[in-house]
Amino acid sequence: MANKKKSKFKKIIFISPRNPFSGRFSGDVIRAKKFLESFDKKYKVTVVALDKHNLKKKIGNIELITFEEKKLFYKILSILKSLLKIRPMQMGYFYSTKMEDYIVKNFKNFDVVFCQSVRAAQYVQTLKFKKKILDMGDLYSKNYYQTFSYTSFLNPIKYIYFFESILMKRYERLCFKNFNQILLFSSSEISSQRIFKNKIVKINFGIDMISNQFKYKKANNRILFIGNLTYLPNKLACSFFINNVMPKITKIDPKIEFHIVGEISNYDKFIWQRKKYVTVHGKVKNLSPIIVKSFCALANLEIASGIQTKILTYMSYGLPFVATKKVANSFDEINKRFIPVYKNNNELINQIFRIKNDKIFSLKVSKTNLIYIRKFMWRNVIKRFRKVFD
């Protein structure tokens, strides 16, 4: 009987800026937990992460060690130290001396290091492992530069984003040099890093299930936006749509409503819901009651890098959506042809009403999304992820 192929990398240290088992509803935490759940008993995995408390415990076959995050005052000091070292500010924000001490003292006990985002990469840049893997996901530098370009020159934060984009681009290049493999979401971002193409592996974000909840009905009157509204690109996209586009839409059809799902500040919720055509749901566990009354979803981000997870959610429910070209460009050419895009407000409004009024077009977009989304099932993503270690 032939021997089964053994993994080259049995002892793994998995470094994350957030505890993957915290239950936090954010893309990086969900992705990290899915990756960790894919490791079986032949791997010895130690997770080192920042959290609200110091913690050491076993979760199945995984050892979890967390270090308490610094208080805000010390984070500010750490950010200033990062700037003095000409490093991105967020490196300082997510830095822990105790966490670094643990990693430096124990790294020789592991074969491979897996860093969940560039924020975790700072702990192992100079350390030697048999293999170093970085789940970069998106190019943050690209996102920050887009934020700089989009923000008013009167807003001081504009210049902070510009400076951070320069520092981050420099730091990302350092990561490309120092790691054996880099995981990225987007085909367009991968093609922009041709010099490092042999190091890059395309690992998508995933979804748990496909549930076609969309049914075309003339009575459906909701436009849906899903996303974390404490994230600036999402906040700007919603605010612009509420104030500049929805008034024109409601003049054409007063019954149309804009529904928002996701984490949001109390202030923004109060301000936006003053508009009679806006409903803010906050975080919800079950999207189905909202989906069944929606005719269209929105991905109107002007600041976008990588694949937007909101798009995967829309697709998994079969809900047609309208997107900016920046969002659509993260998908391959086959599917881009079936994503309704727009260049200006008038085109956005036209696409929305085309989906609402043209049943054949609406159902075609829905069907195409349901077919395309299959490649993003977590079971398929995990198969590709495991090959990085096997």
Tokens standing for residue 361:
């077009």
Residues 89 and 111: their CA atoms lie apart, in Å, by 30
List, in sequence order, every residue forming a beta bridge with 200; answer none if it has no partner. 182
Alpha-carbon distance values, 105 to 19, 44, 54, 125 (Å): 21, 18, 18, 15
Q: From the CA atom positions of the chain, what is the Rg in Å?
A: 22
Q: Are 214 and 366 in contact (CB under 8 A)?
A: yes
Instruction: Output the pLDDT for position 337.
Output: 64
Residue 180 C-alpha from the chain's centroid: 23
The model's pTM is 0.85
Helix 345-357, helix 359-372: angle, nearest 10: 100
Instruction: Output the pLDDT for position 2.
Output: 43
Instruction: Output the pLDDT for position 46.
Output: 97
Instruction: Output the pLDDT for position 241.
Output: 97
Instruction: Output the pLDDT for position 1.
Output: 41
Closest listed residue to residue 240, CA positions, set 171, 135, 342: 342
Residues 136 and 202: their CA atoms lie apart, in Å, by 10
Closest listed residue to residue 144, CA positions, set 166, 113, 125: 166
Could you give all domains of the chain from N- to C-terminal order, each with its CATH number?
11-203 (3.40.50.2000), 222-376 (3.40.50.2000)
Q: Are 242 and 236 in contact (CB under 8 A)?
A: no
H/E stretch holding 56 reads: strand 55-59
Backbone angles phi, psi at 45, to 5 degrees: -115, 130
Residues 106 and 104: their CA atoms lie apart, in Å, by 6
Tokens standing for residue 198:
């042999």
For the chain, what's the residue count?
390
CA torsion sign for 43, 46, 51, 52 is positive
Q: Are 289 and 311 in contact (CB under 8 A)?
A: no
Q: Are 362 and 216 in contact (CB under 8 A)?
A: yes
Tokens standing for residue 62:
């995984």
Q: Where are the alpha helices (DSSP H) in 85-220?
A: 89-93, 97-106, 118-121, 140-150, 157-178, 187-191
Tokens standing for residue 342:
């727009």
Q: Are 76 and 43 in contact (CB under 8 A)?
A: no
Taking only the tens of pLDDT, the chain with its 390 residues reads 444 455 555 899 999 999 999 887 778 888 999 999 999 888 999 999 999 999 999 998 899 999 999 999 999 999 999 999 999 999 999 999 999 999 999 999 999 999 999 999 999 999 999 999 999 988 899 989 999 998 888 889 999 999 999 999 999 999 999 999 999 988 778 888 888 989 999 998 899 999 889 999 999 999 999 998 988 899 999 999 999 999 999 999 999 999 999 999 999 999 999 999 999 999 888 999 999 999 999 999 998 876 788 999 999 999 999 999 888 887 765 455 678 999 999 999 999 999 999 999 999 999 999 998 998 999 999 999 998 987
The residue type of 229 is L
Residues 69 and 66: their CA atoms lie apart, in Å, by 9
The residue type of 7 is S
